Structures are given as C-alpha cells and as structure tokens.
C-alpha cells in the first residue's frame, strides 16, 4: 500500500472540489463539504499545518475515494 501525500486542508478542499464536492458551510476551522450524490465530509483547515495520515484516511473514507483517485484529484 502506498503512502498518502502530505497535504494541507486547503489542498484537500481544492481536490474535493475538482471531484464534484461543494462547500456547504464552515464552522470555525472546519469546512463541511457535500457531493450531489449524498457523500459528505468535514475538512479541518489550520493555516500552515499539514493534515495527518489518519485524518486524510478518514476524509477519503467519508468521501468514498481511494488513494489513487485522491492523488489524481490533487494533481488537477
């Protein structure tokens, strides 16, 4: 199994937007995102901090995305 890339919350949000997710709302540092097909996830955004691998895995599980699909979205 390949390692997850090191990314910030802003990069995850940009990748999920490319995948069809929209920002629904934000409460503090947590950005709530939803896809038209019903998938939902929450991405924390802390300026200058990378997300840990466990948190990225949770976001990908909520969004029902695989690691390779996520990498493709990150590349644009």
Predicted pLDDT of residue 1: 58
| Domain assignment of residue 1, yes or no | no
What global pTM score does this model have?
0.93
Count of the separate structural domains present in the chain: 1
Residue 2 lies in a domain: no
Domain for residue 21, yes or no?
A: yes
Tell me the pLDDT of the chain averaged across its residues: 94
Q: Using CB atoms within 10 A of its CB, is residue 37 exposed (0-12), middle (13-18) or buried (19+)? A: exposed
Residue-wise pLDDT for 19-51, tens only, equals 999 999 999 999 999 999 999 999 999 998 999
> Is the CA virtual torsion 49, 72, 13, 35 positive or negative?
negative
Q: What is the domain range of residue 70? A: 9-75
């Amino acid at each position: 199994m390949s390692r997850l890339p090191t990314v910030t919350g802003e990069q995850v949000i940009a990748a999920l937007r490319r995948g069809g997710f929209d920002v629904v709302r934000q409460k503090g540092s947590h950005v709530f995102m939803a896809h038209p097909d019903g998938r939902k996830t929450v991405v924390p955004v802390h300026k200058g901090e990378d997300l840990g691998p466990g948190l990225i895995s949770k976001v990908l599980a909520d969004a029902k995305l695989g690691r390779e699909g996520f990498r493709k979205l990150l590349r644009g």
